Amino acid sequence: MNRLHATKDFWLAALRADGPALQDAVAEAGSDAPVPGCPDWTAADLVEHLTGVLRRVRESAPRGVTTAPEKQPPPPRPEWSEALEGLRRELTGTIETLDALDPEFPAWTWPAQAKKAGFWSRRMAHEVSVHRWDAESAAGRPTPIETKLAADGVMEILDTWLPAGRRLERTEFSGVVHLTATDAAYEWFIRLRGTGVALLDTGTILDTDDHHPRAEATGTASDLQLVLMGRRPAETLSVTGDPRLVHALHAA
């Protein structure tokens, strides 16, 4: 397993790059354009979803408490031009809010990890980068996620989403899966034991441990992240062994 030493500044830089690209793509696609990676969604649905997520993070992260915020009903959907302006404001406001917070500042988070504001810098970087890809797909011109960001996105799926139970399907498959990013020096070994998921640190594996993979999936870091997030088909990757084990790593 490779550990990425990403920082708040890295994630916010990604937000500052992907945010404007996302805005350009949804404006180009138009409100009624279908979003291929999100069945039954239009660009208007994507904008509404992302604006709401950003607003909740902007409002909840600075509270200084680790309890979940109260759920608020979504506001009425505005006209398209107003929706685009609302997305722009929330992107700007969320970046400014997270930039002002110490990563160690107490904040509510949904996984069973240290509840700190730094979680949201990482989460929003990946939320916006994947949805930027969605928006560009709706506009007919998707571009890959930046390599280091995508590698960290794969890591987030494996160290946060899956251990928190956010798997697409609960399966009883068991075995080790080996993921390799071909465009970067990153690889991951993941042990599945029914509903359990463990990201293995190959530097500490004992000789008596069985870490030989029953399935291997190889592709660019961007393709690995997009496949595990359900955006691209499994055939995008080169898979050997039991493909059901790779499918079991898909995030919900």
Instruction: Give 89-109 pLDDT, tens digit per residue.
Output: 999 999 999 999 999 999 999
In percent, the amount of the chain with pLDDT more than 70 equals 94
Look at residue 136 in the predicted model and tell me its pLDDT: 98
**In the predicted structure, residue 199 carries a pLDDT above the cut 60:** yes
pLDDT band at 202, cuts 50/70/90? low
pTM to 2 decimals?
A: 0.94
* Rounded distance between C-alpha atoms, residue 197 and residue 165, angstroms: 9
Q: 91 CB contacts (<8 Å, ≥6 apart)?
A: 15, 19, 22, 23, 54, 128
pLDDT band of residue 74 (cuts 50, 70, 90) is confident
Domains detected in the chain: 8-143 (1.20.120.450), 148-247 (3.30.1050.10)
pLDDT value at residue 210 = 57
Indicate whether 41 pLDDT > 60.
yes
The answer to whether the Cα torsion of 155, 160, 166, 172 is positive or negative is positive
Q: Give the torsion sign (CA, 46, 49, 52, 55).
A: negative
pLDDT tens by residue, 178-190? 999 999 889 999 9
- Phi/psi of residue 157, each to 5°? -60, -45
pLDDT in tens, 120-139: 999 999 999 999 999 999 99
> Which strand (E) or helix (H) includes residue 176?
strand 174-181
The pLDDT of residue 15 is: 98
With a cut of 50, say whether residue 206 has pLDDT above it: no
Confidence class for position 173, pLDDT limits 50, 70, 90:
confident
